[in-house]
Chains A and B, each alone.
Chain A
């Protein structure tokens, strides 16, 4: 193999191996966040395609919780009335971030409040605040 081919092989290796590895590493590495903040990504599909993921969010009492709400198909919204949270429309590709302190213990329902499919009324989930 000549030198040009070695360089070429390195370039190709970088593109098809290092690049994907880098992308996944960047996405899934532990992100540092301020002390005590729980950051949770909630991916929202219509009910037919999985609804809220995760649909069961467990945090500890007193924690500061940051939910990153991302629609993966159509327009949704997010309501967690016990914590006074009621977002505007959540459009695909435009994540909405809500933040609150889990001050009350218990199980609290959340739902999508904009009709997003025929089974929209099933778009529910639970926030569980453990002691």
Chain B
């Protein structure tokens, strides 16, 4: 097929009613307005702008505002409002759409592209390749663990939050000028790593439409970016995937897709779209199962449990230790890192060995069972995080009302809501919201787990193996229940 013929084929595809591939629906056909938006060069910029505005106020209030977290815009709007939105809405329903609107890499990317909005082929910066040994999530895991370890400090001190975000932005600018694309987002960002993991659960995905068109395509603009030749055929001009993905080459998981929609704009054939799909589809894509992501799953599940003990538990000594309380901090750090890096993987390894033993086969290596089954922890981890977040978001989000009127704690009253009192919402009801969430997470994890086992073992073996895995997942749920209700 020549270029025109390929294009004609896609046009034909696009003209028919919404494409239905299995359970998938082409969201851009269902919502023409969204389609129009996605095809505007200024689309991502307008997503970033409101967040850049909030971010600027966060940094100013963090550094110059009142040092009382509860009365400072930075703490309330980052760790309560943003966090709640992220974990309850954006990630479970929108995959990594936050990454498309995140202001942290914005300046770096604008500099790198020498453009805010339009597509310019000549950029700025050294454009070095990211070292091969670091092309994984280990740095991001390490970064997340470091911030997570200090989170009792970070989430309660405005000045720390302010400088942390400013620092991340500075690192992102440097990274964009030294390395190619958004290397920061893919390999370094502490948030991006877990967004990637949990975005696999989301009911949206950016994918190619017709694999045949991509096979015939000689531009690969979704990876390389638009060229004058590709623009002659089609596309409105877009950059190659900033996150090193290759949508046309068969990207099958959301994990590293930032939903920035550059590839949609770059594709000369309009062959890339955003689909609605069943929740959790990507968790069963074998191709991506890797140890660095598996560890991300332990880190997330482990930290949700640990925070439930340390932050919202009643034990004061632990809190003092975590609050940089002298030598006790070392005890806390040992407990935190030990649980996440040794205890959780150790437990999982034990479970994997049991699964393998009960399945009764030696043909599948233990390491493979270990990595594969860790993806079964993703739904439970996500819902565990939502349940944990409710326990501090609902009691404290009322601060947002007063902070909105007095972001810096300087006594302003912009909207007349400054004196809105601290009002815990749904007090006493939170546990009854947490239980159904955890149960949904459990059921979903069991489904995913059995699916994974069926891809790992043969039919009969998988069935036997699913019993210990289910018991393990129930055990994890019981830990959460004991912490929230017991």
User: Which of A's residues lie within 8 Å of B, judged by CB?
Assistant: 1-2, 4-5, 8-9, 11-12, 15-16, 19-20, 23, 27, 41, 68, 70-73, 92-95
Contacts and interface: CB of A to CB of B under 8 A. Distances in A.
A35 to B, nearest CB: 22
Contacts of A5: 115-118
Given A4-B118, A5-B117, A12-B52, A72 B68 contact: yes
A94 B45 CA distance: 38
B67 A72 contact: yes
Interface of B: 41-42, 45, 49, 52-53, 56-57, 60, 66-68, 70-71, 110, 115-118, 402, 406, 408-412, 419
A50 B406 CA distance: 23
B115 A16 contact: no
B411 A20 contact: no
A73 B71 CA distance: 10
A94 B110 CA distance: 41
A71 B115 CA distance: 45
A12 B41 CA distance: 16
A8 B411 contact: no
**Interface SS of B by simple majority:** loop
Contacts of A1: 115, 118
A95 B412 CA distance: 10
Contacts of B56: 15-16, 19-20
Contacts of A41: 411
Q: What 3 pairs between A and B have smallest CB-CB spacing?
A: A93-B71, A8-B116, A92-B68
Contacts of A73: 67-68
Contact of A92 (B71, B117, B410, B419): B71
Contacts of B42: 4, 8
Contacts of B67: 72-73
A94 B420 CA distance: 10
Given A23-B60, A92-B68, 4 more contacts: A8-B45, A12-B52, A12-B116, A92-B409
19 contacts: A1-B118, A4-B118, A8-B45, A8-B117, A9-B116, A12-B52, A16-B52, A19-B57, A23-B60, A27-B408, A70-B66, A72-B67, A72-B68, A73-B68, A92-B66, A92-B70, A92-B409, A93-B406, A94-B419
